C-alpha cells in the first residue's frame, strides 16, 4: 500500500524481507555501567552497496534505540571495516555517555541488560509535567485522582537562557499545586536524553549557549531543590509506555508520542523500563535515498519527519493546503485539525499517509522490541485524524503482516489521555520518601 501523499516511501521492513544473506553479523553496543545490547542478523560476506546500506541503517537504528559509546562488530571483515557511523550520531553518543565513541571489530561481548521497575505510585499529593516543544502539560494528582490538568504554551527551543525554562516550568507547577493541600512528589516527562534526572541532550535546549548549558542540564535538580520533595524525570517516550501500561493494566508496551517530534519508550514483559535510549526520532523509518532530511541531524528518512507535527507540515503542499509562512507548526496542525472537523476532505490523506508509515514501521520496530501493545499518543493523534491514522495502520497489519496483527494491539486512548496522559503517568514516577 502506497502512502497517498508520499508514493516514494520505502519501508525498511520490506527491504529486509527482500534481502538475503548467509553470514552471521553481530552488532553489540556498550553503554553506561558496562551494559551491553546485542543484535544478530545474516548478511552477505562482501560489502556490496545493498549490504552496506542495510548494515549502516541497522547500526543507526540500534544506536538510537539502545544507545552506546562503544560499537562492536563481529562478522565479515570486509563489511565491518567499511562501515562508518555518521558524525552527528557519534558526537551525540559522546555527549550522552561522556566517553569517546569507539568502534571495535572482533568478538562481541555477551548481552548484559538492565531493567528497573519505576512508576505506578499513586499515593499522596503529586505533580506531574510533560515538556514539549510548543507547550508543557501539568497535572495535579491526589491519591490517584486527577484534580487538575492543564496545558501551557511556551517556546523553549529558541531561548538561549535556561532561566526561561525554569521560570515557566516552576510557574506551571505552582498553578497546579494550588489544587492540592500539599505537594509530596514531582514526576516529569521530557523530550531528550535524561540520565539520573540530568538532561544530557535535548532539542528543548538547542538554543542554550554553551556556557549556560550546565544550568539546563541540572534543571530538574533545581526543581527538586526548590520544592524539597522527591523528583523523578524520564524521557517522554518511557513515560508514554508507562502511561500505556498503567491505563491498560498490561506489560510489553511500546509507546509512541507524536508531538513536536517522535518520542518512544518501552515497558518490557516484566513491567520494567530498560536503560535504552529509544530516541526513535533519529532512527530511520524510510530507506528512500531521496527521503526528507532532518534539519538537526541532517539524516534522511528518520522518525521525527514521519510521526510528528513535522510530518503533518511537510505533507501540507501535497494535500493542497496552503498556510501563511509565518504560521508555526503547532498552529498549522491545529488548522488541519479544524479543517477536518469542518468536513474538509483535504486533510484525510495526510492522516492516511502517516497511518501507512506507521503500518509498515510497526513490524520494523518489532525486530528490535518485543511488544504486544502499541500505544499511540500525542497532539498529532488529537481529533478525527488520529482514528484515521490508526485504522490505516491496522489495515496494513491485517493485510500484509497477519501474524503480527494477531499479536499486536494498537491502542488510541481517549481524547483527554491523548493530550495529558503523559503528565499524569509522570506524576506516578517518584516513590514517596525517595531522595
What is the chain's mean pLDDT, rounded? 93
Burial of 44 (0-12, 13-18, 19+ CB in 10 A): buried
Return all residues near 367 (Cβ < 8 A) that are at least 6 apart: 13, 16
In this prediction the pTM is: 0.88
pLDDT of residue 148: 95
Contact 224, 231 (CB under 8 A): yes
User: What pLDDT does 170 receive?
Assistant: 97
The C-alpha atoms of residue 245 and residue 214 are separated, in whole angstroms, by 34
Q: What was the pLDDT predicted at 257? A: 87
Fold that domain 125-238 belongs to in CATH: Nucleotidyltransferase; domain 5 (3.30.420)
pLDDT level of residue 417 (50, 70, 90 thresholds): low
Mean pLDDT for 167-192 is 95
Cβ neighbourhood burial of 409 (10 Å; 0-12, 13-18, 19+):
middle
What would the pLDDT profile of 376-394 be if each residue is shown by its tens digit? 988 899 999 999 999 999 9
- Among positive and negative, which fits the CA dihedral 319, 377, 234, 111? negative
Residue 239, pLDDT score: 87
Q: Mean of the pLDDT values across residues 322-327?
A: 96
Which pLDDT value is given to residue 413? 79
pLDDT for the residue 425: 87
- Predicted pLDDT at 421: 67
Q: Once rounded to an integer, what is the mean pLDDT over residues 221-244?
A: 91
Give 287-317 pLDDT, tens digit per residue.
999 999 998 899 999 999 999 999 999 999 9
**Cell numbers at 26, concatenated:** 553481530
Q: Is the dihedral of CA 146, 148, 153, 156 positive or negative?
A: negative
pLDDT of 57-79, one tens digit each?
999 999 999 999 999 999 999 99
Rounded to 5°, angle at Cα 183 from 177 and 185: 120
Do 405 and 394 touch, CB atoms closer than 8 A? Answer: yes
pLDDT band per the 50, 70, 90 thresholds, residue 13: very high
189 alpha carbon, distance to own chain's centre: 11
Residue 181 pLDDT exceeds 90:
yes
Q: What is the DSSP letter of 85?
A: -
Query: In this predicted model, which residue has the larger pLDDT, 378 or 129?
Result: 129
Whole-number pLDDT of residue 247? 80
Calculate what percentage of the chain has a pLDDT beyond 70.
98
> pLDDT at position 420, please?
47
- Would you call 255 helix, strand, or coil by DSSP? strand
Query: What residues does CATH 3.30.420.40 cover in the chain?
Result: 125-238, 248-422
- Residue 49 in this model has a pLDDT that exceeds 50: yes
Once rounded to an integer, what is the mean pLDDT over residues 115-132?
Answer: 90
Pick the range with the lowest mean pLDDT from 102-111, 182-191, 234-243, 334-343.
234-243
Burial (CB count within 10 angstroms: exposed 0-12, middle 13-18, buried 19+), residue 32: middle
Cell, residue 358: 506507521
Residues 432/230, Cβ–Cβ less than 8 Å:
yes
Q: Please, what CATH class does the domain formed by 248-422 belong to?
A: alpha beta
Element (H, E) at 187: strand 185-190
Q: Could you list the beta-strand ranges (E) of 19-154.
A: 23-30, 36-43, 70-74, 102-105, 125-131, 135-142, 145-153
pLDDT tens-digit series, residues 88-120: 999 999 999 999 999 999 999 999 999 888 888
pLDDT band at residue 419 under the 50/70/90 scheme: very low
Amino acid at each position: 500500500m502506497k502512502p497517498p501523499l508520499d508514493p516514494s516511501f520505502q519501508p525498511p521492513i520490506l527491504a529486509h524481507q527482500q534481502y538475503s544473506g548467509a553470514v552471521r553479523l553481530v552488532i553489540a553496543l556498550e553503554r553506561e555501567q558496562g551494559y551491553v545490547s546485542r543484535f544478530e542478523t545474516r548478511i552477505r560476506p562482501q560489502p556490496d552497496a545493498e549490504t552496506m546500506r542495510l548494515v549502516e541503517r541497522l547500526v543507526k537504528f540500534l544506536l538510537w534505540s539502545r544507545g552506546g559509546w562503544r560499537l562492536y562488530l563481529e562478522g565479515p571483515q570486509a563489511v565491518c571495516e567499511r562501515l562508518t557511523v555518521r558524525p552527528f550520531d557519534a558526537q551525540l553518543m559522546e555527549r550522552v555517555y561522556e566517553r569517546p565513541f569507539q568502534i571495535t571489530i572482533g568478538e562481541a561481548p555477551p548481552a548484559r541488560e538492565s531493567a528497573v521497575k519505576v512508576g505506578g505510585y499513586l499515593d499522596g499529593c503529586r505533580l506531574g509535567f510533560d515538556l514539549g516543544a510548543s507547550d508543557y502539560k501539568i497535572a495535579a494528582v491526589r491519591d490517584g485522582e486527577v484534580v487538575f490538568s492543564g496545558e501551557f504554551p511556551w517556546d523553549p527551543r529558541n531561548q538561549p537562557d535556561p532561566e526561561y525554562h525554569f521560570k515557566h516550568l516552576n510557574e506551571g507547577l505552582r498553578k497546579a499545586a494550588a489544587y492540592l493541600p500539599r505537594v509530596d512528589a514531582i514526576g516529569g516527562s521530557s523530550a531528550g536524553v535524561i540520565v539520573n534526572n540530568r538532561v544530557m541532550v535535548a532539542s528543548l535546549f538547542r538554543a542554550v549557549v554553551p556556557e549556560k548549558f550546565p544550568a539546563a542540564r541540572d534543571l530538574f535538580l533545581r526543581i527538586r531543590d526548590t520544592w524539597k520533595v522527591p523528583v523523578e524525570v524520564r524521557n517522554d517516550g518511557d513515560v508514554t509506555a508507562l502511561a500505556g501500561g498503567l491505563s491498560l493494566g498490561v506489560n510489553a508496551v511500546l509507546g509512541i508520542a507524536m508531538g513536536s517530534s517522535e518520542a518512544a519508550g518501552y515497558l518490557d514483559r516484566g513491567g520494567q523500563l530498560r536503560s535504552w535510549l529509544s530516541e526513535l526520532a533519529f532512527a530511520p523509518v524510510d530507506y528512500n535515498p531521496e527521503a526528507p532530511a532532518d534539519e538537526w541531524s541532517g539524516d534522511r528518512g528518520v522518525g521525527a519527519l514521519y510521526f510528528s507535527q513535522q510530518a503533518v507540515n511537510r505533507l501540507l503542499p501535497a494535500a493542497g493546503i496552503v498556510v501563511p509562512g509565518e504560521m508555526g507548526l503547532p498552529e498549522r496542525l491545529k488548522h488541519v485539525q479544524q479543517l477536518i472537523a469542518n468536513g474538509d476532505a483535504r486533510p484525510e490523506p495526510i492522516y492516511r499517509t502517516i497511518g501507512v508509515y506507521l503500518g509498515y514501521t510497526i513490524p520494523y520496530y518489532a525486530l528490535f522490541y518485543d511488544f504486544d501493545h502499541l500505544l499511540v499518543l500525542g497532539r498529532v493523534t488529537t481529533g478525527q485524524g488520529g482514528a484515521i491514522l490508526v485504522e490505516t495502520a491496522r489495515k496494513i497489519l491485517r493485510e500484509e503482516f497477519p501474524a503480527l496483527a494477531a499479536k499486536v494491539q494498537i491502542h488510541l486512548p481517549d481524547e483527554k489521555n491523548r493530550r495529558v496522559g503523559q503528565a499524569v503517568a509522570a506524576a506516578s514516577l517518584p516513590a514517596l520518601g525517595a531522595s
